[in-house]
Copies of this chain bind each other. A is one copy, B any other.
Amino acid sequence: MSIALTGDRPTGPLHLGHYIGSLTNRLDMQNKYQTYIMIADTQALTDYFETPEFVRKNVFQVAEDYLAVGLDACDIFIQSTIRALPELTMYYMNLVTLARVVRNPTVKAELKQKSFAANAPCGFVCYPISQAADITCVQAEFVPVGVDQLPMIEQANEIVRKFNSMYKTDVLKESQAILSPTSKLLGIDGGAKASKSLNNCIFLIDSPEVVKQKVMSMYTDPNHIRVSDPGELKGNVVFHYLDAFWEEKEELAALKAHYKKGGLGDVTIKQKLIEVLENIMQPIRERRSKIDKKQLEEIVYAGCKKANEKANDVLYKVKDAMKLNYDIV
């Protein structure tokens, strides 16, 4: 079975944006690949280094979300527990010039977005290199990414080729991106992206009451005042969510036509959306209610152990190729 690696930064509970963007995709992956899911706490610390307790708190939150959506055939592990990762990163850092890493389009874009300017920490600038360590430490052959992350895979493969050719080995494996559709879910306020930092998303842990309240507050068409008014679909968040989550495409088309014509109230379409979302969220809630804290820990720790064994084996071969094979400690 081929190996795949995916993961999230533990910077908050997962939300419907994750569900549509990556979690459903992983539900499919876990049957096709040996799938590792990395909870990237070390990477989260490259920009949340001032609030480690915040990152810590979210590690098991995210793990719980994984199990709640049904990701029970993956190996979930915590990045900071993998001792081979920083070692691999250090060795790879010799193979990448500073100029190359700063030119990486993903780094460039994120530096701009985070407005670090000249004050970017070294850890942040070098994160494509530590991502190469993430990918190679489990010998991942497939990595699902959005199109904006493609340069990261390219960078990792560059390191793999350079390492293997320089040290005359084949221990490192090139990986292939699985392009995931970048269907960004809008925020409930109509914002360009559902994001926990903007507090405009529906979390998988939200109760039915909270979901109802959030849907009821959704941005629709500000000119759609009376029920009889014709409504606008463009920018209408309720229809955006229905597009994303409602599988009955014919019924949805009919609903849209009715709304455009007039005579369909916002409350009605919102109730429909609540029903659609609850169909998805109810099973998640049910699975979550059965998760025992102790058992969750055991599952994650078993994943850490397995990933560590794999990564130590890769590191051993890497160090052997680099003549750093002192079998002493």
Contact = CB atoms under 8 A, between A and B. Distances in A.
A84 to B, nearest CB: 9
Interface stretch (A89-97, A181-189, A239-247, A265-273): A89-97
Given A87-B86, A94-B49, A166-B49, A56 B119 contact: no
Given A86-B90, A90-B130, A166-B49, A326 B78 contact: yes
A304 B327 CA distance: 11
Interface in A93-143: 93-99, 101, 118-126, 129-130
13 contacts: A42-B90, A42-B324, A46-B93, A52-B322, A52-B324, A56-B323, A78-B326, A83-B87, A86-B89, A89-B90, A97-B118, A126-B126, A304-B328
Contacts of A49: 94-95, 166
Contacts of A52: 167, 322-324
Given A42-B90, A83-B87, A323 B55 contact: yes
Interface in A277-305: 301, 304-305
B95 A326 contact: no
A85 B124 CA distance: 19
